[in-house]
A = this chain, B = another copy of it.
Amino acid sequence: MEEDLREMATRLHAAAIHLLRTLRREDDGSGLSAPRLSALSVLVFGGPMSLADLAAAEQVRPPTMSRIVDALLDAGLVTRQPAPGDRRSVRIEATTEGRAVMETGRERRVRALRERVGRLSGSERRALARGVEILERVVR
């Protein structure tokens, strides 16, 4: 069991690195890096929020997220407005274009995975889906 865990941690680590390197090439096509798309995704699905909330959701420090938001702002994908009720805080929100770009970014990643996942059997695919679900809980 201990050895299993050691092995799994190593393999999970390697697999995650390789997965992201593969997908990053696809994401390049959208003109958005993985962290930017990921942050945008949080905004699209989670709704408007402050910078601190967004940074926490992405498990990143505020300065890092501030710069990511700058880039999304330049690209016209989000808006940054003073938060009502607390003028220190900002309210970051995805624009309509932001939603559209998020969607096509996702399409690209799906396309990159489809062929590979398509080679799996039905039960393997289900097992992968379940693994991802559990991984989400472990990581969160």
Considering only CB atoms and an 8 Å cut-off, how many residues of chain A contact the other chain? 50
The verdict on A128 contacting B129 (CB below 8 Å), with A6-B110, A14-B38, A22-B59 known, is no
CB of A134 within 8 A of CB of B131, answer yes
Nearest residue (CB) in B for A107 is: B6
Chain B residues in 8 Å Cβ range of A135: 15, 19, 128, 131
| In the bound complex, CA of A92 to CA of B140 (Å) | 37
Q: Is A120 an interface residue, CB under 8 A from the partner?
A: yes
- Which of B18, B19, B60 is within 8 Å of A21, CB to CB? B60
Chain B residues in 8 Å Cβ range of A16: 16, 19-20, 23
Chain B residues in 8 Å Cβ range of A117: 5, 8, 138
Which residues of A are interface residues toward B (Cβ below 8 A)? Answer: 4-6, 8-23, 34-35, 38, 41, 58-60, 106-107, 109-110, 113-114, 116-117, 120, 124, 127-140
21 contacts between A and B (CB under 8 A): A5-B110, A6-B106, A8-B113, A8-B117, A9-B110, A12-B113, A13-B19, A13-B20, A13-B109, A14-B38, A15-B139, A16-B20, A16-B23, A17-B34, A17-B38, A20-B20, A22-B139, A127-B134, A131-B131, A131-B132, A131-B134
